[in-house]
Amino acid sequence: MTAVTIVLPAMLRESIGTTRLRVTASTVEEALEEAYRRVPVLRHHLCDESGKFRSHVLCFHNGKSTREFGRVDLPLKEGDEIAIMQAITGG
């Protein structure tokens, strides 16, 4: 298990009380599950009914989008950062 930081969008601060969580996990997926366990409402904000990220939610592992890998079971190293961002769309 490895200690990593999850950085959350500032707009969630009011709902969950923070924008940073320190968790211990072996993969990005495990880190996210630990965050959901600690802050259950976080899953509602980030995931749809199927448990996948909502279409406007982006997840980055050390600056690289998990969408590039097509999965979130990526291994973690000490000090890694998982950043959650909300995509902005418009016209």
Task: Identify whether the C-beta of residue 57 lies closer than 8 Å to the C-beta of residue 84.
Answer: yes
Residue carrying structure tokens 């923070």: 18
pTM (two decimals): 0.90
Q: What CATH number was assigned to the domain covering residues 2-86?
A: 3.10.20.30
More confident residue, 90 or 48: 48
Domain positions in the chain are 2-86
| Cα 45 to Cα 2: distance, rounded to the nearest angstrom | 25
Q: pLDDT for 36-83, tens place per residue?
A: 999 999 999 999 999 999 999 999 999 999 988 888 999 999 999 999
Closest CA to 28 of 67, 62, 76: 76
